[in-house]
């Protein structure tokens, strides 16, 4: 298994696919369309890898960052 799932739910684990955000050199776990496709399977969302292309990866990364901002705001008590 390539991906880690410490959050206990895909909604929290998905933003965690950019590891070590606070460091100078974070680690990108979704570094290709294939890695995005395997993330769905490894997260238990699908049985097989999901076919994904470059546009899918771009959209997924944008969604991931939006979810990350929402979680951080909620943790800080912000709207």
pTM score, whole prediction: 0.85
Q: What tokens appear for 39 in the block? A: 């993330």
Residue 18's pLDDT is what? 93
Average pLDDT for runs of 10 along the chain of length 79: 75 90 92 94 92 97 95 90
Contacts 24+ apart (CB under 8 A), 35-39: 35/2, 35/3, 36/60, 38/2, 38/3, 39/3, 39/14
Q: Are 18 and 28 in contact (CB under 8 A)?
A: yes
Residue 26's pLDDT is what? 93
Residue 67's pLDDT is what? 93
Residue 5's pLDDT is what? 76
């Amino acid at each position: 298994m390539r991906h880690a799932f410490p959050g206990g739910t895909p909604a929290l684990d998905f933003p965690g696919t950019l590891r070590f955000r606070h460091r100078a050199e974070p680690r990108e776990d979704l570094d290709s369309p294939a890695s995005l496709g395997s993330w769905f399977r490894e997260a238990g969302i699908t049985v097989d890898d999901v076919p994904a292309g470059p546009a899918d990866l771009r959209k997924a990364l944008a969604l991931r960052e939006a979810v990350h901002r929402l979680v951080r705001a909620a943790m800080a008590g912000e709207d």
